[in-house]
Amino acid sequence: MLNRAKLLKLNIRSKKTKIVIPIPLIIFSELLDCVQDLIVIVAFIVPNIEITIKEKKYSIKSILNIINDILEVLRELKHCEAFDLVDVKSGEDIVKISLK
């Protein structure tokens, strides 16, 4: 249920703008799950491929391990109480990322 799901809430405030973006954690989980499925298909077709990101090469298996770790973190965040991940203030500007 999306109405009872944990939300990642992004607040950006400055003199001229105020932006509040609530993002359900289930959206991140589903997106990463789909990406993981696509990478598994690519790994089946081309098993020895390496992906280069900023001049560093990563194997498909290491990328799948990273995605699995991120999915595990998202699963654990669902059981946490509300807290702030980022809270930065500079003068009148505020950037705040919180889990509600």
Q: In a structure prediction context, what are the per-residue pLDDT tens digits for the chain, which is 100 residues long?
A: 455 568 888 899 998 899 999 888 888 889 999 999 999 998 899 888 888 888 899 888 899 999 999 999 888 888 888 888 888 999 889 999 888 8
Q: How many CA atoms lie within 13 A of 42 on its CB side?
A: 15
Which residue do the tokens 């990406």 mark?
35
The pTM of this model reads 0.70
- Domain segments of the chain as ranges: 2-99
pLDDT of residue 1: 47
Helix and strand tally (H, E) in the chain? Answer: 2, 6
Report the alpha-carbon distance of residue 34 to residue 41 in Å, rounded. Answer: 11
